[in-house]
Amino acid sequence: MDPSSRAPRWQDPDHPWPSRAACTVWNGTVTTALIVIDMQQGFDDAFWGPTTNRPGCEDNVARLIEAWRATGDPIVVVRHDSTSERSPLNPANPGNSLMDAVAAADPAILVTKSVNSAFYGEPDLEGWLRGSGISRIVVCGIQTNMCVETTARMAGNLGFEVEVPIDATRTFDLVGPDGVATPAATLMAVTATNLHGGGFATVTTTDELIARGAR
């Protein structure tokens, strides 16, 4: 099907999002879980090449964590345990450690993974969300076009209502099959377009989320 002819996910009458009233509750209230993806010290390593939105990403993720902690809403921290010995994110390397702001988040659960999607990790993220009665999530972290986008896409496919504050993400320049590097800022813009245009998620900002109480 031509994507341009398909209604966005939240406008599709055959696949409606759960209404706010239909959502079950966390600690007695309807809530949204904050999913913090791969905010690890190894992403400060030169191994990855040029980046963008640094320290904006880190600052905004810290603001979101503070907002969620203030309301008592659930925070899920995701850590990437790379299977590559060369990767700064390999568990044997110090870069596997979480950044300070995230290490202090006091998450409801810590999910570890070795692939792009947080839904293929341990413990089972989908099972935990559904078991907790949570149908709405906010996804932030690193890398915008890799694990953040993959997790947001899969969440949308699984029927969760997803928001991505794009300024609480960052990524790195990436070389394509033609040998040409696409700048990180361009990749972030493409991810925003993919998520919005494909109906996977609502693309927003940290300020917008916090201004409306993030819930």
Segments making up each domain of the chain, as ranges: 31-209
The per-residue pLDDT for range 27-39, each reduced to its tens digit, is 445 589 999 999 9
Give the least confident one: 100-109, 110-119, 138-147, 152-161.
Answer: 100-109
pLDDT of residue 152: 98
- Select from 140, 139, 144, 141 the least CA-distant residue to 162: 139
For domain 31-209, the CATH architecture is 3-Layer(aba) Sandwich (3.40)
pLDDT of residue 214: 61
pLDDT of residue 101: 84
For residue 104, what pLDDT band results from cuts at 50, 70 and 90? confident
pLDDT of residue 53: 87
- Could you give the C-alpha distances from 142 to 101, 153, 165, in angstroms and in order? 14, 15, 12
The per-residue pLDDT for range 53-65, each reduced to its tens digit, is 889 999 999 999 9
Average pLDDT of span 70-82: 95
19 has a pLDDT exceeding 60: no
What percent of the chain has pLDDT above 90?
77
For 118: left if phi > 0, alpha if psi spans -120 to 50, otherwise beta; the answer is alpha
DSSP secondary structure of the chain: --GGGSPPGGG-TTSPPPPTTTS-EETTEE--EEEEE--BGGGGSGGG--B-STTHHHHHHHHHHHHHHHHT--EEEEEE--S-TTSTTSTTSGGGSBPHHHHTS--SEEEEESSS-TTSEES-HHHHHHHTT--EEEEEEE-IIIIIHHHHHHHHHTT-EEEEEGGGEE-B-EE-TTSPEEPHHHHHHHHHHHHHHTTS-EEE-HHHHHHTTT-
14 has a pLDDT exceeding 90: no
The per-residue pLDDT for range 159-178, each reduced to its tens digit, is 999 999 999 999 999 999 99
Specify the pTM. 0.84
Say if strands 33-37 and 75-80 run parallel, antiparallel, or are unpaired: parallel
For residue 213, what pLDDT band results from cuts at 50, 70 and 90? confident
